[in-house]
Amino acid sequence: MTKFPIVEPEVNDYLKSLSKEEIHEVINHFHGRKLKINQIIEMYKLEKISISTFVKTLPPVQHHDLICPECKVVSWKNHLARNSKSVPFCPKCGEDLICYFNSIEYQRKMEFLKERELWQQKMDPDYYEQEISVTKEKFETLSLFQKVFLGSIVQAIVEDDLFTIKGKLLKEFKLFPIPEELNEQLIELGITEGDDFTEYKYNIEKDVTKELLNCDNKLGSTLKQQLELWHVIAKAESKEYLIGEMEYSNFRYHHDNKFEEVFSILFQNHSVAQTFHLINKSVADACKLYAQRGNRYLSENSVIGACARMADYYPTRGWPILNYERRKYHQSLMSQYFFNRLLKIGNRGFYNTPTLELLLHNNFNIIE
């Protein structure tokens, strides 16, 4: 059996009055715990010092079970406390010779590194796991909603090749007033249900890109399709305003079916700007109701119905339902593309009631 050299530790000045054997006895008493520290000090006629200082005066012990692979010497162990020693280390290079493996800590570290890698990939605008290709043939099969979506992202961030759209850049834009409804509408385009459309790279044929940018034939849409999409965007903008105003007043919105029915009727005679007026007043009335009754659910549930009642009541008194401004609820890219580029009616899409009559005054409409 190979014998490796031993490095003798330097004896602290505090213990220099003791022999080597006595120092060994002091160490044994210290870890044996039968004697108190002060008793050990008195037994060997040492100067009285604090316990924490006493530990530091003890020389390291030789640990013959581990040899430093670099220095080829026997390792040491320091004294940490009574019956407790440090990890073996090399007396020459000072390197610890045992690495305690903590499986939980290691797993957490690996999960953190994996999450950081995924985050870095998601932030990299050139990294995409999934792509969507839009050929001329596929484009012709899409709904007007999906075509307007493509038109809005082409107009916003198409690359210089007129072919590539990096979806991650769309995170900086407001594409549609209600993001959840947008994702649902894009499933037929190729977006997997539950996925975020900004995690895709879009490859659009140049002919399709040019058609989306020019929009001369209104993307082949009929008056009926245009009116239907106008209603979809109008309801989405009103819902965004309603949710925002309710949340500002610490109310919860949970009335999708009720909203759909009531506002489908409202948009037969009212503009989005007018519904903003109705919503604003109805939420204010709900706040008063909550202050009087103390019933939050009742107050939340009263808002949409109040919009309908107010829309019926104002005309009977000859009161106008005023147009409100968008204020902090900025117009989405799809709304801009649809009203400014495709319909070419601009703000009339916000201030006017959605009607066929207004669409008929636009040139180049394809009438079904």
**pLDDT value, residue 106:** 66
Enter the pTM of the model. Answer: 0.67
Contact 130, 114 (CB under 8 A): no
For residue 170, the SS3 value is helix
**pLDDT value, residue 103:** 62
Q: Is there a single domain that holds both residue 230 and residue 259?
A: yes
Cα 185 to chain centroid distance, Å, stands at 22
Nearest to 215 by CA among 365, 329, 22: 365
Q: Is there a single domain that holds both residue 256 and residue 174?
A: no
pLDDT in tens, 104-116: 776 787 888 888 8
Backbone torsions φ then ψ of 131, nearest 5 degrees = -130, 155
In order of 88, 110, 345, 357, the CA distances from 100 in angstroms are 11, 17, 71, 78
**pLDDT value, residue 327:** 85
Q: How many residues does the chain have?
A: 368
- Domain contains 104: no
- Identify the domain boundary among 166, 197, 214: 214
- Domain contains 245: yes
**pLDDT value, residue 307:** 97
- Domain contains 109: no
pLDDT in tens, 155-196: 999 999 999 999 989 999 999 999 888 988 898 888 888 888
- Domain contains 20: yes
Long-range contacts of 152-158 (CB under 8 A, 24+ apart): 152/333, 152/334, 152/336, 152/337, 152/338, 153/202, 153/333, 154/204, 154/209, 154/212, 154/213, 155/212, 155/213, 155/333, 155/337, 155/341, 156/333, 158/204, 158/209
- Domain contains 105: no
- Domain contains 7: no
Residue 217 DSSP symbol: T
Low-confidence ranges of the chain (pLDDT < 50): 364-368
- Judging by DSSP bridges, how do beta strands 79-81 and 74-77 pair with one another? unpaired
Q: Is there a single domain that holds both residue 156 and residue 257?
A: no
**pLDDT value, residue 203:** 96
Q: Is there a single domain that holds both residue 311 and residue 243?
A: yes
- Identify the domain boundary among 29, 54, 85: 85
Q: Is there a single domain that holds both residue 355 and residue 239?
A: yes
The dihedral of CA 76, 79, 82, 84: what is its sign? negative
Domain that holds residue 249: 223-360
- Domain contains 125: no
Q: Is there a single domain that holds both residue 265 and residue 339?
A: yes
**pLDDT value, residue 83:** 84
Q: Is there a single domain that holds both residue 235 and residue 304?
A: yes
Q: Is there a single domain that holds both residue 334 and residue 308?
A: yes
Indicate the number of domains in the chain. 3
Q: How many other CB atoms are found less than 10 A from the CB of residue 13?
A: 8
- Identify the domain boundary among 185, 214, 243: 214
Rounded CA gap, 145 and 20, in Å? 90
For residue 85, the SS3 value is strand
**pLDDT value, residue 216:** 83
Rounded CA gap, 349 and 339, in Å? 6
